[in-house]
Chains A and B, each alone.
Chain A
Amino acid sequence: MLLPLLLLMAARPVEFNRDVRPILSDKCLACHGADAKAKNIPLRLDIEEQAKADLGGRRAIVPGSPETSELIRRINSDSKARKMPPAFTGHALTEVERATLTQWIADGAKWQKHWSFITPTRPALPEVSRPTWARNGIDRFVMERLDREGLKPSAEASKDRQIRRVTLDLSGLPATPREVDAFVADKSADAYEKLVDRLLASPRYGERLAMRWLDNARYADSNGYQFDGERIMWRWRDYVIESFNKNKRFDQFVVEQIAGDLIPNATVEQKVGTGFQRNHRANTELGIVAEEYSVEYVIDRVETNSAVFLGLTFGCARCHNHKYDPLTQKEMYSFYAYFNNVPEQGRAMKYGNSPPLVANPTREQQAQLAGLAHQIAQARSAIQVNPSRVRAWQASLPKDSMQYWLPGFDLKRKLGFEDADETRANAGQVEFVPGRIGKAVQLNGTTYLDAGFQAANFDMEDRFTMAFWAKSSQTPDGTLLSRATDKARGRGFGLEARKGRIHVHFTSDYDDDAIRMTTGAPVLKAGVWQHVAVSYTGSRMAEGVRVFVDGKPVTFKVELDNLYRPLNNGGKEFPEPLRLGAGGGPERRFAGQLDEVLVWARTLAAEDIELLAKGERLPEVDPGSRQAREAYLENGAPAAQKMLWAKLVELEQAREALERSFPTVMVMAENPSRRDTHVLIRGEYNKPGDKVEPGLPSFLPPLPEGATNDRLGLAKWMVARENPLTARVNINRFWQLLFGTGLVKTIEDFGSQGEYPSHPELLDWLAVEFMESGWDLKHMMKLMVTSATYLQDSRTTPELIQRDPENRLLAHGPRLRLPAEAIRDQALAAAGLLNPKLGGPSVKPYQPAGLWEEQSMQNMDYRQDHGDALYRRSLYMYWKRTIAPPMMVNFDASTRESCVVRESRTNTPLQALNLMNDVTFLEAGRQIGRRMLTEGGATDEARIAYGMKLLTARAPTVRELEILKSSLNYHRDYFATNAGRVDTYLAKGESARDLKLNATEQAAYMALASLMLNLDETVTKD
């Protein structure tokens, strides 16, 4: 593959960066690089001074004198012991490489800083042989190179090729026949520009660009690793689509990906951006050592950020100094430190999202929420209460009324013990005695009450609040409330008194899967009634638990904060009831009295709990108080007002339910105090070495002026004008999206092992243009797709293929197989099936049965969607990392297990089988056949031409039409003679069949459409 590049090199003087560095890097630096010292190798060839230094009478490189240069002697040595590189490395130099090194030294051994580490400046546009060919700056650089090669650009592609190519590239969908006709007919000078503007303004553009960003970001709907449970990150995916669609400044987008949460007064949208950093796989396997995976997540971030933004392979310096680039291991861990301060767990939540999270309502939900807020405000102002009426109503209550104020809604259970039948007593008779309000239950240390399964059947992700009064003659000790197996170290949740301290636990497994927290000091006293309440946000973290004694929050020491499985693990219902005075085994029974046990299915506000803890009966409560007013509205007010109040409560309940339904996104956050980062010796999680501070590698520019040394500073540094990499690397990836290969082919590596750019000045020109345009991505996409380079015809010649098989010189337009998503989306669009819905939860279209079941645990089966969901664009397909959608994988989609930036295209028999036999494409064929019959015209010729136009944006040639007609007639005969097979063949997919059409005709056209869907041209952008 090197040959063409070498041929053209021969004409020019040897240049270090282009010609020499790749040889040194690939063949020498593994030993004579940054890691040489560790290997006791005195010579380094990555640093000029050392490479040219006198090492005891010998110098590896003597500028101008190859014959005295030890390097040249050694590479030409016949001695096995002296020959470099040694045979065991397998890195033998080629003839050309030896000649290049020799020539370079003869020419003076001029060194250059690695090209990609130098901040780009805008190069002047070169003079070219045919300036009129150029439509913009891009073309001047391309033509300059072609001139040097003695090549000429290709003619401009026909208009139908132009519209098909650019529509597939910018929207990932085919141009419709109408769009093709309109464009071909538009003879105005700016017809193409108008087309591009239309495509850039379409919401399909954001979806198209998001597809590759999801690969970069290793986005998926599951956690990966062993169990591979579901996570909910689609709001992040939708944010990406929206960001591209509104053409958010790309530098701002990058800052949000890295540190949106740290932007002062960050919006939800900015926080959501940091989902990028959380899209890595997360391990939930039972028994893992959590610290091991805490490290892996941060390493993943280092690898992903360095690849996506810097085009560097920082992960290579995990265990030792980078072998090729001037990055030390210590610098790698300094970079790591920026991402190592997240309040996260090494073991992720088995189901759902792992904190830190942010709730991110959809647009629809935001509107609903605003609507509810408005209604609530209106309902509030509609209720006017006259305090004297409240007073009068209070006076009318029986003096011994046991009623008291209860906050709002979602009260699930109320146990006042006024009626002894309220609960089922266990382990002997309990007594009901005068209590805090009316009667209370008296427990003796062996007895307890069973309040039933329904009373508190919450799981770890549910919100709830429990409140009660307690009193004991001793300092309270024993379990007060629980829903847990009644044994020591059992599962479930409970609230326990421990010699006056309060202990709260949520336990899936006592040792390793629980939240446990205890108040630092005793808070419960002997001989007095005290009000105790626990509220929980469903966060599955200690921070979501609050306990109040007598209405005041108490402080806790967290002993374990490591919960990751629900009680209903694997879909098995956890059967334990709510027990009063028991849980944790017979030795933990409570002796004392409990009264007014209340359970809510929501997190009560602290103010509510404070009021509740006053424990005032309605006849006693101050008539001006909130309690009196609300109790009056609920019970004593006139019917009309009661209804208004009920309506208000209903609205508030609806708001609570709505808020609870908001999808969350896993985002970045910072620990309150910075977690220490250490170099990990050999990269192992349990071998910490020197402590390091966050910092940047010395071979790259420092933080910009005024930037803080944290993730936000890092993000600003990424997009600073001085940063030599971010603009280059990103524009190179967008170039790849259009041309198939980057100007730097090694998209993922701009380091010394990376390939030298095919058009270095063009890359710099684009990078500078990108930055100076205000990081305007639509401007850049437009620049690229309106270039003469892009608009060339894609036909090639055997000579050109031999010379430049990958079209690196750009002597013709791009001709590339479509990405997996576009192949499916194109079929759906041409079939008229495509559902254009933008965003939303991922969908599960057709997939061969059994794929998940065969390989996953706990009967995780694939439940295919129906209706519209079958026809959503492919980027909305549910992505399970360990068993990815097979059609996507067949067509080279990345598996989303880790960051992938390079596009790959293979050509396999499995792809052929997929396109011929997958129900997705058979159904599309059926519908395209229907469209040919109903929309294509009256003759076979017209119908075939229409089908071809749907898929290839052009009419068939005479010869093609002949073959297609013959195929149609063959299938007509086939289905006529096999009439029994017609219905079977047509019964593919769930979309309706047009019963008005002749079935045999429809089957024949379906077969023909299937054939058209399998054409090389159909799956190729040309």
Chain B
Amino acid sequence: MHPLLQTRRHFFQKSATGIGLAALGSLLQGDELEEVHPKLLGLPHFAPKAKNVILLYQHGAPSQLDLFDWKPGLQSRRGENLPDSIRKGQRLTGMSAFQETFPTAPTVFKFAQHGQSRSWFSELVPHLASCADDLCIVKSLNTEAINHDPAVTFSQTGFQLAGRPSFGAWVAYGLGSENQNLPAYVVMVSQGSGNTQALADRAFGSGFLPTRYSGVKFRGGADPVLYLSDPEGYSRDARRRYLDDLAKLNQIQLDNYQDPEIATRISQYEMAFRMQSSVPELSDLSKEPESTFEMYGTDARKPGSYAANCILARRLVERGVRFVQLFHRGWDQHSNLPKEIRAQCRETDQPSAALVKDLKQRGLLKDTVVIWMGEFGRTVYSQGTLTETNYGRDHHPRCFTGWMAGGGFKGGVSYGETDDFSYNITENPVDLHDLHATVLSALGVDHTRLTFKFQGRHYRLTDVKGHVVKPLLS
């Protein structure tokens, strides 16, 4: 149902209990909290394990082979052509399909087991390794798309082509938000040092849902939300006075026309005013103690960095924002992978791990699902020339690794298996519909019942697929 109608329904309920229309404006000013981000009727469907989501999106697709999916047998096969029995004629991208050979490229990075769970991590992610027992690692993620744009669109909306709502938009639509001064779905983008891919707004858009469910982009710098700051030369007091006058004038119009849309507008201006204080307060890390920066790393002092965004993600869920999504760009390592991935990990490993630890120490991890993933994996064979110290990896949709932490996901788990080449899944595949279904389930939502009727069809985030992967949930 359209949120405005909900607003209206709420308003009817009020008027049914005898509060007249004329009083509506003041009513909303005093008591609008439940109006701003209403959840759908009947949601959650069952008792949720988690309330919030933080999706740490590693944009460009990190190599599972160099981070989590340890294949010791490959070391002795360096340079050997990928056996046909493994590739099975599956399609490749146009970038490597014409290669004459597909030389096996074992990782150059050392792997070790960590935590009580003895999960494998490469030396590139020592900080993540240190929270091994909080991570639910899934090595059997797989997707349909082999190129960035459709793959990102698929992982974010459940469909390869444009037009459908993003994961965060679905959650905002279904569950609303508990913070009345901030958007329900917040997105932050940071720039990595590696090879970068374009990021389309649709990755956090609302698709066919009303635009109010789109992710609101928070940006580093003076205007963290577009048009947030009052114009230079204009004070907060002046703005308050301005809004009071505006509300009075709109109220006259409301009395005259009795259109509830006017009441909604009055309340949206009040929310805008509150955002003007709440967002800068939220984005201001200057009051964070020194220990925070030690934990998240020195990058965290740089506004707009991944590390700073990780701190902001924690601050957002602290304030009840339902869905927070980070995009960190630069994981598209077709060549010079060893050098580039090292830099990408330097930017992301410590802050990602710090976020998990920080949430945990604050008691927020149990209510928050943290997801770390990219749009697909990378090939075991080298794209371009393989040398002792250098290689590149092409896109690989058939298996890749992501992890979840908190929010009802089991810690210290490594789920799913791939073959000796990390090419095909041999056990417990988890496709992205399954992942969406499972995260929704942690939020108390039955993915088959979170629907929106459009073009005659009851659409779902999980399209017509998706199974909750119960073993991942505690």
Contacts and interface: CB of A to CB of B under 8 A. Distances in A.
Interface of A: 1, 25, 88, 90, 224-228, 281, 283, 285-290, 296, 307, 313, 316, 323-325, 510-512, 686, 746, 748-749, 751-754, 794-798, 801-802, 805, 815, 817, 848, 850, 854-857, 881-884, 886, 889-890, 892, 895, 897-898, 904, 906-914, 916-918, 922, 957, 959-960, 963-964, 966-967, 970-971, 974, 978, 981-988, 1003, 1007, 1010-1011, 1014-1017, 1020, 1022
Contacts of A281: 162
A1007 B198 CA distance: 39
B216 A917 contact: no
B456 interface: yes
A974 B272 contact: no
Which size bracket describes the interface of B in this complex? 35 or more
B198 A882 contact: yes
Contact of A324 (B97, B246, B456): B456
Contacts of B146: 287-289
A218 to B, nearest CB: 9
B148 interface: yes
A296 B197 contact: no
B258 A797 contact: yes
A1016 B4 CA distance: 16
Contact of B242 (A848, A967, A1022): A967
Given A228-B200, A511-B98, A1015-B249, A917 B227 contact: yes
Contacts of A913: 225-228, 272, 275-276
A289 B246 contact: no
A802 B12 contact: yes
B112 to A, nearest CB: 34
Contact of A226 (B149, B395, B451): B149
Contact of A906 (B4, B221, B252): B4
Closest 6 CB pairs of A and B: A753-B456, A985-B233, A882-B200, A287-B93, A511-B98, A897-B162
Nearest to B152: A226
B245 A796 contact: no
Given A752-B456, A815-B257, A914-B227, 14 more contacts: A286-B95, A289-B93, A749-B456, A753-B455, A848-B223, A848-B227, A882-B202, A906-B210, A908-B211, A908-B268, A957-B252, A982-B233, A985-B234, A1016-B266
A798 B242 contact: no
Contacts of B29: none
A960 B226 contact: no
Interface in B423-468: 448-449, 451, 453-457
Nearest to A912: B272
A191 B391 CA distance: 77
B322 to A, nearest CB: 16
29 contacts: A1-B1, A285-B149, A287-B395, A288-B147, A313-B457, A749-B455, A794-B257, A805-B5, A848-B227, A855-B201, A857-B197, A882-B200, A892-B210, A895-B202, A907-B264, A908-B212, A912-B272, A913-B225, A914-B227, A916-B227, A960-B249, A964-B249, A967-B242, A981-B232, A981-B234, A1014-B269, A1015-B250, A1016-B261, A1022-B257
A550 B199 CA distance: 52
A316 B210 contact: no
A488 to B, nearest CB: 13
Interface string B218-261: 01010101111111111100110110011011101110111111
Interface of B: 1, 3-5, 8, 12, 15, 20-21, 91, 93-98, 146-150, 161-163, 189, 191, 196-202, 205, 210-212, 214, 216, 219, 221, 223, 225-235, 238-239, 241-242, 245-246, 248-250, 252-254, 256-262, 264-266, 268-269, 271-272, 275-276, 394-395, 448-449, 451, 453-457
A874 B7 CA distance: 31
B149 A283 contact: yes
Contacts of A897: 162-163, 202
B198 A798 contact: no
Nearest to B36: A909
B307 to A, nearest CB: 17
Nearest to B256: A795
Given A917-B227, A974-B235, A1015-B250, A904 B210 contact: yes
A313 B257 contact: no
Given A316-B455, A1007-B242, A912 B269 contact: yes
B221 to A, nearest CB: 8
A964 B250 CA distance: 12
Contact of B456 (A754, A916, A960, A974): A754
Q: Is the interface of A mostly helix, strand, loop or mixed?
A: loop
B147 A1011 contact: no
Contact of A288 (B94, B212, B258): B94
Name the residue among B20, B216, B227, B454 with the largest chain A CB count within 10 angstroms. B227
Nearest to B95: A287
B472 to A, nearest CB: 22
Contact of A795 (B249, B258, B276): B258
Contact of A512 (B98, B191, B252): B98
A1003 B262 CA distance: 28
A897 B160 CA distance: 13
Name the residue among B96, B196, B229, B233 with the largest chain A CB count within 10 angstroms. B233
B227 A1011 contact: no
Nearest to A800: B258
A802 B9 CA distance: 9
A1013 B431 CA distance: 49
Contacts of B94: 286-290, 511-512
A155 B5 CA distance: 27
B434 to A, nearest CB: 18
B257 A963 contact: no
Contact of A884 (B201, B216, B271): B201
B191 A854 contact: yes
A296 B161 contact: yes
Given A907-B268, A960-B249, A817 B149 contact: no
Contacts of B3: 906
Contacts of B1: 1
Contacts of A794: 257, 259
A892 B211 contact: yes
B258 A857 contact: no
Nearest to A985: B233
A1 B97 CA distance: 54
Given A857-B197, A1016-B262, A971 B238 contact: yes
Given A913-B227, A916-B272, A984-B233, A895 B238 contact: no
Given A287-B395, A906-B210, A907-B268, A895 B205 contact: yes
Name the residue among A288, A889, A890, A909 with the largest chain B CB count within 10 angstroms. A909
A635 B350 CA distance: 77
Contacts of A986: 233
A616 B248 CA distance: 90
B449 A90 contact: yes
A942 B3 CA distance: 41
A226 B197 contact: yes
B212 A898 contact: no
Name the residue among B199, B252, B257 with the largest chain A CB count within 10 angstroms. B257
B192 to A, nearest CB: 12
Contacts of B248: 963
Name the residue among B212, B234, B238 with the largest chain A CB count within 10 angstroms. B234
Contacts of A88: 448
Contacts of A918: 227
A873 to B, nearest CB: 21
B272 A801 contact: no
A881 B266 CA distance: 32
A307 B97 CA distance: 37
Name the residue among B5, B149, B453 with the largest chain A CB count within 10 angstroms. B149
Contacts of A511: 94, 97-98
B279 to A, nearest CB: 10
B29 to A, nearest CB: 14
Contacts of B161: 296, 898
Contact of A967 (B15, B196, B245, B271): B245
